[in-house]
Amino acid sequence: MRVPITALAALALTSAAAAAPIRVGDTLTPFTLKDASGKQVSLASIKASGGVVLIFMATRCPVSNAYNQRMAALTQDYAGKGVTVIGINSNRQEDAAEIVQHAKEHGLSFPILKDTGNVEADAFGAQVTPEAFVFDPSWKLRYHGRIDDNQRGDNIHSQDLRAAIDAVLAGQAVPVPETKAFGCTIKRVAP
Amino acid sequence: MTGLLLAAVLAGELDAAGVHRAVEARRGRPVLLSFWATWCEPCLEEFPVLVELARQHPEWSLLSVSIDDAEGRAAVESFVTKQRPPFPVFLKRPGADEAFIDGVDRDWSGVVPALIAFDRAGRRLALLAGEHTRGEIESALSRADP
């Protein structure tokens, strides 16, 4: 079982802490998951000098799909700055073959990991798709929340995810480290 | 024409303060507040369950709020027309999503479907965020109406 390092420390004090999802300021213990093509991807092996963006996403969620182009653009825009974007699909009804096909159809070139049994969704406390987490190069969680403030993309006032990445790249505090947005519920396996 | 349909099918638009006023106006009865969207598959599966529960338990007051944006209004009207719920269905008033989510309940992540159960005194008893079974919903309301 993987838990944030800070949660591990807390585990010594109380067993209840083991179930606590990662929070802004916590440090992630990098995990390994298979990507949609079946290849093992170890986060520890990623050399991302500018940090890592993890986005819980879906193939069938209209809200997540509304962000496909924006996720693809984000990946391109920040690749040259050392930022790695990784998708995670935790939905029980969306299998690897569907994820591969969906990525191909929508030009999503970043790796998308299949979170079987929603283990990582639980560890992250992720609830909706899309939902983003920004880690700095030392795997400290610096931002958690929405990509921006407009699902349809035609009236965006706040580029929250880009602002967070820019702050990490600049070595500054993230202006708004936690945000909320409507999204599709992550379809978990029965407990 | 759209206005006439809205008046006939939907109860109006609510911001977060309006949601609280609507719950307050139902004080004296257990209240189940439902948030959903037409783009949310589990919400569309849950809605008929709420319709059934409302018919079986007229002592409970149900209140439904669609978070669809303006472009989704026609889809909301169409769905509600087919479902014929015995409870009012509102639309979220256009405005910032995060302000609405936090204004309704700071513990709510924004996931839909979401249900909030209140007892007769208007105290929040349960927040059911995400998919829940009919049994879990009934259990939450039973606690509100012991």
CB contact under 8 A, A128 and B41: no
Q: pLDDT grade, residue B9 (50/70/90)?
A: confident
Would you state the structure tokens that stand for residue A15, as one six-digit string?
């067993």
Sign of CA dihedral B42, A186, A151, B89: positive
Distance CA A151, CA A153 (A): 5
CB contact under 8 A, A182 and B112: yes
- Residue A166 within a domain: yes
Sign of CA dihedral A35, A39, A43, A48: negative
Distance CA A105, CA A151 (A): 20
Residues of chain B above pLDDT 90, percent: 83
CB contact under 8 A, B42 and A63: no
CB contact under 8 A, B129 and A127: yes
Residue owning tokens 């935790």: A90
- Residue A170 within a domain: yes
CA distance to partner chain B, nearest, from residue A164 (Å): 17
Distance CA A162, CA A166 (A): 6
CB contact under 8 A, A182 and B67: yes
Residue A16 is predicted with a pLDDT of: 36
Q: Which of A9-23, A89-103, A152-166, B117-131 has the lowest mean pLDDT?
A: A9-23
Q: pLDDT grade, residue B141 (50/70/90)?
A: confident
Across the range A163-187, mean pLDDT stands at 96
Structural domain harbouring A32: 27-185
* Per-residue pLDDT tens digits for A144-168: 999 999 988 888 999 999 999 999 9
- Residue A7 within a domain: no
Nearest residue on chain B to A129, alpha-carbon basis: B111
Residues of chain A above pLDDT 70, percent: 90
End-to-end Cα spacing for chain A: 16
Residue A5 is predicted with a pLDDT of: 46
Q: Which residues pair with B92 in a beta bridge?
A: B14
CB contact under 8 A, B101 and A60: no
* Per-residue pLDDT tens digits for A136-146: 999 999 999 99
Distance CA B2, CA B9 (A): 10
Task: State whether residue B65 is helix, strand or coil.
Answer: strand
- Residue A127 within a domain: yes
Q: pLDDT grade, residue B143 (50/70/90)?
A: confident
* H-helix or E-strand spanning residue A87: strand A83-89
* pTM value > 0.95: no
User: What residues contact B109, with CB distance under 8 A and at least 6 apart?
Assistant: A127, A128, A180, B101, B129
Would you state the structure tokens that stand for residue A92, as one six-digit string?
């029980």
> How high is the ipTM of this complex?
0.82
Across the range B67-73, mean pLDDT stands at 91
- Residue A49 within a domain: yes
- Residue A164 within a domain: yes
Q: pLDDT grade, residue B135 (50/70/90)?
A: very high
How many structural domains are present in chain A?
1
* Per-residue pLDDT tens digits for A76-102: 999 999 999 999 999 999 999 999 999
Is A84 touching B (CB cutoff 8 A)? no
Domains of chain B: 2-144 (3.40.30.10)
pLDDT greater than 50 at residue B119: yes
Q: Which of residues 42-61 of A touch B (CB under 8 A)?
A: 60-61
Question: Kindly report the CA angle at A88 between A168 and A80, in degrees rounded to 5?
Answer: 40
Residue A20 is predicted with a pLDDT of: 86
Is B69 touching A (CB cutoff 8 A)? yes
CB contact under 8 A, A63 and B129: no
User: What residues contact A75, with CB distance under 8 A and at least 6 apart?
Assistant: A85, A108, A109, A110
CB contact under 8 A, B112 and A185: yes
CA distance to partner chain A, nearest, from residue B100 (Å): 10
Nearest residue on chain A to B92, alpha-carbon basis: A182
- Strands of the B89-92 sheet, one edge to the other: B12-14, B89-92, B61-66, B31-36, B114-118, B124-129
What CATH number does residue A126 fall under?
Answer: 3.40.30.10
Q: Which residues pair with A89 in a beta bridge?
A: A114
Q: What is the mean pLDDT of chain A?
A: 89
Q: How many CA atoms lie within 13 A of B122 on its CB side?
A: 10
Residue to mutate among A65, A152, A185, with most B CBs inside 10 A, is A185
pLDDT greater than 70 at residue B4: no
Amino acid at B72: G
Q: pLDDT grade, residue A9 (50/70/90)?
A: very low
- Residue A75 within a domain: yes
- Residue A19 within a domain: no
